[in-house]
Amino acid sequence: MACLQSSGGKAGAESVRAALAHVYASALLDADSMANVLQETVDVQIPVDARLCRITGQISGVFALAENPSGRILLRMYPANGKLKSEADLHFGERVLLFLDWALLRLHSADTVPVRPLLLCKGDSPWQDSLARWDAEFRDADGAQQKQLRADLEGRVAGLLSRWHQAEIQPPLYFVRTSWAAAQDADAHNPGKAQKVWHSGHNKGGEHAHGQGYNLLLAGDIDFETDAKAFQALHAFARELNALISFPELQA
């Protein structure tokens, strides 16, 4: 996953510089570590659908932790129109990728080494803070509890991979922005928020008009307000996905 990307020209560059200045001030990273962007190679084996799955690859945008050079920071930023997004504005596409990078690096690293996400955003960040709290609890846990926490994290990664494999056979009703809107409401009979994102008079017609044509190809002329079955399928998958990447009990 690329980091520090901005399409906002001079304004976007200023946003990047201001955000990085805040990182320096927080003492999480120092100038030396910022000059040394790491490419971390991960090699993790976890059970997926009753088979042992080996996951290998490289994770970019990783930095050494200032307080512990063996520790790792995953630095990510998703500016929009030259400005930082709030965490609440992040959609599934951004969240799932960050969660997978963090989880795989956490599973690959030594149990005592901190692995923290650092998502630069404006305002509060309860979701990323919960990942950092989970990491702290994992490192502080005793042997049996740590084994249980590791198994839980492996299960979450396995759940994401399993759903990806299923999608190759039968694509679910899943769209990064519309599904995220649906996941925010526990009511499977209230499509209002999702429909507004999916088919809107604003934002160039909503998400159905984006995705290089794939969204229209997969969903056609579907309307979530009139097709209750379709919305329930979208909603169920979105809620499952959100449960896999979230620790609500650790969110302040």
pLDDT value of residue 84: 82
Q: Are residue 39 and residue 133 in the same domain, yes or no?
A: yes
Closest listed residue to residue 100, CA positions, set 251, 245, 246, 247: 245
In this structure, what token pair is assigned to residue 113?
Answer: 């080494």
Cα–Cα distances in angstroms (integers) from residue 159 to residues 162, 192, 220, in the given order: 5, 28, 28
Give the model confidence (pLDDT) of 17-34 as tens digits.
Answer: 555 555 544 545 655 655
Q: Are residue 63 and residue 185 in the same domain, yes or no?
A: no
**d(C-alpha 188, C-alpha 121), whole Å:** 30
> Is the predicted pLDDT of residue 252 greater than 90, yes or no?
no
Range of the domain at 50: 9-167
Sequence-separated (6 or more) residues with CB below 8 Å from residue 148: none
Last residue of a domain, one of 167, 188, 204: 167
Is 85 a domain residue?
Answer: yes
Q: Who wins on pLDDT, 78 or 210?
A: 78
Last residue of a domain, one of 167, 196, 216: 167
Q: Are residue 159 and residue 178 in the same domain, yes or no?
A: no
Residue 84 DSSP label? P
Is 252 a domain residue?
Answer: no
Last residue of a domain, one of 167, 202, 233: 167
Task: Provide the residue type at 49 as one letter.
Answer: D
Give the model confidence (pLDDT) of 82-99 as tens digits.
Answer: 788 899 999 999 999 999
Number of domains making up the chain: 2
Global pTM reads 0.85
Task: Tell me the average pLDDT across 100-122.
Answer: 93
Q: Are residue 206 and residue 148 in the same domain, yes or no?
A: no
Is 1 a domain residue?
Answer: no
Task: Tell me the average pLDDT across 38-45.
Answer: 87
pLDDT value of residue 32: 60
Q: Are residue 104 and residue 63 in the same domain, yes or no?
A: yes
**d(C-alpha 195, C-alpha 242), whole Å:** 18
Q: Are residue 219 and residue 239 in the same domain, yes or no?
A: yes
